[in-house]
Amino acid sequence: MTFFLNYFSFVLIFGYAFFHLILILKLKRMIKKNKTQIFVNSDFLPLSVIVASHNEEEYLENCLRSILNNNYPKEYFEVILVDDRSNDKTFEIVNKLQSEFLNLKYIKIENVESGFTPKKNALNVGINNANYNYFCLTDADCIVENNWLQNIANAFKNNYDAVIGYSPYLNEKNNLPKLLSNFLDYEEYKNSLYAFSGVEFKNAFLCNGRNFAYSKNIFNKVGGFDKIKNYLSGDDDLLLQLFSNQKAKICSITDTSSFVYTYKPKSIKQFINQRKRHFSVSGLYNLSIKLFYLGAHILNLSIIFLLIINLNFGIGMLIVKLLIDFIFCKINSDNYNFKQNVLLCSLNEILLILYYFVFGMITIPLIIKNKSPINWN
> For the chain, what is the mean pLDDT?
91
pLDDT at 86: 96
> What residue spans of the chain are helical by DSSP H?
2-35, 60-68, 90-98, 118-128, 148-157, 178-200, 216-221, 237-245, 268-279, 287-309, 311-333, 342-362, 364-369
CA 140, CA 172: separation in Å to the nearest integer? 17
Query: Which option is the CATH number for 38-275: 3.30.70.260, 2.40.160.40, 3.20.20.150, 3.90.550.10?
Result: 3.90.550.10
pLDDT at 68: 98
Q: Which residues of the chain fall short of a pLDDT of 70? A: 1, 36-42, 360-377
pLDDT at 327: 96
pLDDT tens sequence across 161-209: 999 999 999 988 888 899 999 999 999 999 999 999 999 999 999 999 9
Share of the chain above pLDDT 90, in %: 71
CA 329, CA 332: separation in Å to the nearest integer? 6
Contact 108, 114 (CB under 8 A): no
Its pTM stands at 0.91
Residue ranges matching CATH 3.90.550.10 in the chain: 38-275
pLDDT tens sequence across 321-365: 999 999 999 998 989 999 999 999 999 999 999 888 787 666 555
